[in-house]
Chains A and B, each alone.
Chain A
């Protein structure tokens, strides 16, 4: 055990220990005191490479004797997004409660086919949100504290996805139904090996598809409680999707040689998303349930299928738009046929 023998100087005129850049000041703005307000000067995320192998916070003074705490990614491009601080603050400001922010009292008994269809959809959603909450946590130990905002944002995503898993479970159990037969789920995603692979598959594709569906919640929801669930969940997913797009954009701009690697992830995942959603139109339990909900009952199944087809087209066209924004317009030609057929 090492003992410091330096005398204490409790009333010292001057602080005698090393500090980072001094005289930092910040005042709260319209959104309060945000990370962007304080991370200025040498505290800003300036470096493209990190040599920090400990928990040392960006801008604090290094102790040479501090033990390392595991392997870290050293390149900023591995995880960074130019919007990360803003997305983190937005996530903080927009948290909500599944217990009290949903007007559960507006739930009324539904015809049995509609109730079970909603329960089937909720079973699917609670499954996929499971994995979306688990996967980001895996990468936290690899994120350098020099890019701490990424870790903090992933922490908000873990919270968001847990709330989604919870709110869809609650809905399934709140109106006379229950949890139905699970589908394929998304546990295969836990085998991903790389952060950018996760970002491409989860944030860009998976969450993007779910976000589009949530934004159609006015059509899918049968009452105000369900519509509000979809609205609030879509708001959360928008941040996750925005992170995916801005991270991949940063990666493509700074490491263009990883473009083909990204394509390879999408080559593998695009057919899988058709499978995990039980076929994008009417194959599979979830798609059938969606068609029942969209049509207003099993008697109007065909009408529901037409509406579902419109949602599928929207999902794919919005996916293509994200690819264009991040700088991969060539994906239009390379997209898997199961998805490309929906592009208009």
Chain B
């Protein structure tokens, strides 16, 4: 250690660098564009236990081993991860300013309470999603940086959903309601394999959420319509990763298919349990979907929503190359259509 200039070695100038010059395209300089040469070669097994950047020159010092344990591409990869990362950044929104909060007007008390109960559930679900994804990051090796980058956007999305729905609950004369039964949260935290979590969160729960947000009669104000539309746009990316990763995983690890199929009953069963236990959410949805047309109409619409949730999930199963789960999943989930 010295303050005095020394003769530099400059031996780094002799590194075996692969020289490239990547130009921006119509969408700018994207992650996909820089997947060139050895920088774009994603190995089936990542050999480094450190933060060695993919494609970097060899010959550096020996580094401390890190905590990465997911070193196989088949465990995390999705071909669309890089594109989804850039898309998430392009589609970013800010709950403080992108939602027309100033248009909120007082609602009938039971309608406001119903919106607040729904938002309580949505905020809590997003909080749970952020926790469960975040804790996996340090396990995923840096050979798969495109996946890690996408997961960062997912963590970011989840945080935004958590606070955006909280803001709605606290902005228009209501307040937060009763917490969720929490069984579905446990299905997420109980997933001990990354692909199991992806199936539970990105395939199953996200499909159910999307069906909810796509229900045209659900929003009561322009604020909720905006929130549901923006959140759904985010969740479409989650689903896209879930489908692409599951397909990739099964293609490269067909031996894992049975175990993955078994694991999915945990999320499906948890959702059924939550649905049966969550009378406040059921009644909130009846009020919101009923729109003054009477109890019978509300019940029919809720049953239709539940069926759409099942259908959307079954569609995701097909797209994720898990068609054999469709029939069993529909059977497990069918009781939710009767809860209305």
- Residues of A whose CB lies within 8 Å of any CB of B are 1-4, 6, 8-28, 31-35, 37-40, 43, 54-57, 59-63, 65-67, 69-70, 88-89, 92-93, 95, 97-100, 102, 104-105, 113, 116, 119-120, 123, 126-128, 130-131, 133-138, 140-141, 143, 145, 148, 151-152, 154-156, 158-159, 161-163, 165-166, 169-170, 173-188, 190-191, 274, 279-283, 285, 288-289, 291-292, 298, 301-302, 305-306, 309, 338, 341
Q: How far is the CA of A25 from the CA of B107 in the complex (A)?
A: 12
Q: Are A116 and B174 in contact (CB under 8 A)?
A: no
Neighbouring A residues of B64 by C-beta, 8 Å: 184-185, 187-188, 191
7 nearest interchain CB pairs?
Answer: A32-B96, A99-B28, A15-B113, A137-B134, A162-B152, A155-B159, A32-B97
Which residues 236-260 of B have a CB within 8 angstroms of A?
none
Q: How far is the CA of A292 from the CA of B279 in the complex (A)?
A: 67
Q: Are A20 and B34 in contact (CB under 8 A)?
A: no
Nearest Cβ distance between residue B178 and chain A, in whole angstroms?
A: 5
Cross-interface CB contact of B137 among A17, A34, A133, A274, cutoff 8 Å:
A133
Shortest Cβ distance from B93 into A: residue? A92
Neighbouring B residues of A126 by C-beta, 8 Å: 53
Nearest Cβ distance between residue A246 and chain B, in whole angstroms?
A: 19
Q: How far is the CA of A66 from the CA of B155 in the complex (A)?
A: 24
Shortest Cβ distance from B340 into A: residue? A8
Q: How far is the CA of A174 from the CA of B258 in the complex (A)?
A: 44
Neighbouring A residues of B51 by C-beta, 8 Å: 127-128, 130-131, 182, 185-187
Neighbouring A residues of B37 by C-beta, 8 Å: 178
B10 within 8 A of A: yes
Nearest Cβ distance between residue A119 and chain B, in whole angstroms?
A: 7
Neighbouring B residues of A9 by C-beta, 8 Å: 283, 295
Q: Are A15 and B109 in contact (CB under 8 A)?
A: yes
A-B contact pairs, 11 of them (CB 8 A): A19-B178, A69-B189, A95-B89, A119-B17, A126-B53, A137-B134, A158-B152, A161-B152, A166-B145, A166-B149, A182-B56
Q: How far is the CA of A93 from the CA of B93 in the complex (A)?
A: 8
Nearest Cβ distance between residue A225 and chain B, in whole angstroms?
A: 9
Which residues 249-298 of B have a CB within 8 angstroms of A?
272-273, 276-280, 282-283, 286-287, 290, 292, 294-295, 298
Q: How far is the CA of A170 from the CA of B85 in the complex (A)?
A: 14
Known A123-B56, A137-B155, A288-B10; contact A178-B134, beta-carbon cutoff 8 A: no
Counting contact residues on chain B (CB < 8 A from A), the size range is: 35 or more
Contact with A along B78-101 (1 / 0, CB 8 A): 000000011001101011110101
Q: Are B63 and A182 in contact (CB under 8 A)?
A: yes
Known A34-B96, A127-B53; contact A116-B17, beta-carbon cutoff 8 A: yes
Contact with A along B149-172 (1 / 0, CB 8 A): 100110110111011001101111
Cross-interface CB contact of A185 among B50, B158, B162, cutoff 8 Å:
B50
- Residues of B whose CB lies within 8 Å of any CB of A are 1-3, 5-6, 8-13, 15, 17-24, 27-31, 34, 36-37, 39, 50-53, 55-61, 63-67, 85-86, 89-90, 92, 94-97, 99, 101-102, 109-110, 113-114, 116-117, 120, 123-124, 127-128, 130-138, 142, 145, 148-149, 152-153, 155-156, 158-160, 162-163, 166-167, 169-183, 185-186, 189, 272-273, 276-280, 282-283, 286-287, 290, 292, 294-295, 298-299, 340
Q: Are A302 and B156 in contact (CB under 8 A)?
A: no
Neighbouring B residues of A98 by C-beta, 8 Å: 28-29, 89
Neighbouring A residues of B5 by C-beta, 8 Å: 281-282, 301-302, 305-306
Nearest Cβ distance between residue B109 and chain A, in whole angstroms?
A: 7
Cross-interface CB contact of A6 among B17, B59, B116, B279, cutoff 8 Å:
B279
Neighbouring A residues of B167 by C-beta, 8 Å: 26, 33, 35, 37-38
Q: Are B1 and A288 in contact (CB under 8 A)?
A: no
Q: A8-B340, A17-B177, A159-B152 are in contact. List 17 more A-B contacts (CB 8 A).
A: A10-B295, A10-B298, A11-B294, A19-B174, A23-B174, A31-B97, A99-B86, A104-B24, A123-B53, A128-B51, A134-B138, A158-B155, A180-B17, A182-B50, A187-B64, A187-B66, A298-B10
Q: Are B134 and A136 in contact (CB under 8 A)?
A: yes
Shortest Cβ distance from A341 into B: residue? B3
Q: How far is the CA of A183 from the CA of B279 in the complex (A)?
A: 57
Q: Are B279 and A159 in contact (CB under 8 A)?
A: no
Shortest Cβ distance from B25 into A: residue? A99
Q: How far is the CA of A156 from the CA of B159 in the complex (A)?
A: 8
Q: Are B8 and A291 in contact (CB under 8 A)?
A: yes
Cross-interface CB contact of A102 among B29, B53, B179, cutoff 8 Å:
B29
Q: Are B110 and A15 in contact (CB under 8 A)?
A: yes
Q: Are B96 and A33 in contact (CB under 8 A)?
A: yes
Q: Are B142 and A4 in contact (CB under 8 A)?
A: no
Known A97-B89, A133-B148, A178-B17; contact A60-B178, beta-carbon cutoff 8 A: yes
